[in-house]
Amino acid sequence: MSARTKARKRALDMLYAADLREVPVERVLADEAERAAGEPERQASWLYAREIVDGVIDHRAEIDELITSHSRGWTLERMPAIDRAVLRIAVWEIVHNDEVPDGVAISEAVEAVTVLSTDDSAGFVNGLLSAVAGDRS
């Protein structure tokens, strides 16, 4: 597993935990930063995970608007929490991180929901993210 894939998983864990526990993402990020300080072997994944989470925090309104405007018949609140977190990460990568090709962001997101979410999530996430990426072209 690549360092970026590990970082996405780490960012996903933080966003998902904050959502489920109904606490600010910043608090979960601070807790994870303390933990990361004691794990120098995981430094590479921590740096990108933090960049992702900071990016989602900084652009949350825009990201959520893009998700909402491209979802058909689904509000953010109705989506599984894991799907919301995966979508927020992937939309941030598509819109705000030029180092990650759109196809990679989409593929990683689809893989995550295939493993972690409902049977219908992969198609939903793929379609929504493809629409977001298509709008940027």
Q: What is the pLDDT of residues 25-53, one digit of tens each?
A: 999 999 999 888 888 777 778 999 999 99
**In the prediction, which pLDDT does 55 show?**
98
Rounded Cα gap, residues 58 and 74, in angstroms: 24
Residue 72 phi, psi dihedral angles, 5° rounding: -105, 110
Rounded Cα gap, residues 43 and 72, in angstroms: 38
CB–CB of 25/53 below 8 Å?
Answer: yes
Token pair in block for residue 88: 């927020």
Please write the tens of the pLDDT for every residue from 113-128.
999 999 999 999 999 9
**In the prediction, which pLDDT does 137 show?**
65
pTM value is: 0.94
Other Cβ atoms within 10 Å of 109 Cβ, number:
28
- Report which of residues 11 and 137 the model is more confident about: 11
**In the prediction, which pLDDT does 108 show?**
97
Rounded Cα gap, residues 92 and 63, in angstroms: 7
Domains in the chain: ranges and CATH: 3-136 (1.10.940.10)
What's the start-to-end Cα distance of the chain, in Å? Answer: 29
Rounded Cα gap, residues 34 and 29, in angstroms: 9
